[in-house]
Amino acid sequence: MDNLIDNFRIYLEVEKNVSGCTKTAYLADLQEFALFLKGKGMMKQREYLAAVGQEEIRAYLTDLYRQKLKKVTISRKISSLRAFYKYLVRKGKIKNNPAEIIQSPRTEKYMPSFLSVDETFELLKTQEGVAVLHLRNRAMLELFYSSGLRLSELASLNVFDVDFNQSLVKVRGKGRKERIIPIGGPALDAIGDYLAKAGGLAVGKTGDTFNTPLFLNSRGQRITGRSIARIVGEAARLIGRKISPHSLRHSFATHLLNAGADLRSIQEMLGHESLSTTQKYTAVNISRMMEIYDKAHPRAGLKGKKDTNTINNDIGGEKSK
């Protein structure tokens, strides 16, 4: 059993190139499933995970519902099992994926959180110091907002991924897919200011100029996603907001859409496989549009003034005549 899970871990790292968070979640879900089977007396063989059928998975799903977990959590756990058994089918361990036809719960739709343009500019101003760490933090925030990168994508950037001449950055996204994204002038300037102080330190630490991490921690090593998330959170608190790095990605997409960018272009820059994933920003845009309409239009506040009771009274009055 442990060998199956460990081989799956290697598959996620090497072949699928999933993010660290995704890998950790998948492996934790599998270990939890194995413990469930063991607790129910179902773990009889050394590689019993490969002999599991739909009955065991349905029993596990029932147990998850009994725990009153969030639907999105249950959905992710089922996705972890689907991915694992799909891997076993691919490796010839089993013939059919027992989790393939198990339906995930219908999850609630959520609206992505994002900053307004003014709030984004305030956030960027929180890192205006000249110390190398302030310069690094400013460069990371500028790049998040300028190019809409995921947290893992920003953390994995190397110095030579940034093309200063053409104002582009090469990003390694999900599933080892690379894409080229434009960078704005302020972000390039911030990266240049940061590298002027930190670039030599990075090369000295790694000895490899082509694989030199772009963003370093205080020890001269590649900065982790957790550290980046903490920096973004601290900067957000300074402007009275509570956001994650992903909120800057949402802000990037929302502001582009509000300014007239088409969904296909935004989809390419975000690295979404499906346009439907990008379309959630349309809903955000419509909500914002309705908010602006209600506040600005002279007649917006008057709609619905003649409520149901008034209409009923009018009708009653006509009938009484």
Q: Within the chain, what is the greatest distance between any pair of CA atoms? A: 95
Within 8 A by CB and 6+ apart from 179, the residues are 170, 171, 173, 268, 269, 271
Q: Which residues are known catalytic residues? A: 150, 174, 246, 249, 272, 281
Helix (H) or strand (E) holding 169: strand 168-172
282 contacts 111 by C-beta, under 8 angstroms: no
Contact between 213 and 206 under an 8 Å Cβ cutoff? The reply is yes
Show the 3-state SS of 177-245. Answer: CEEEEECCHHHHHHHHHHHHHHHHHHHHHHCCCCCCECCECCCCCECCHHHHHHHHHHHHHHCCCCCCH
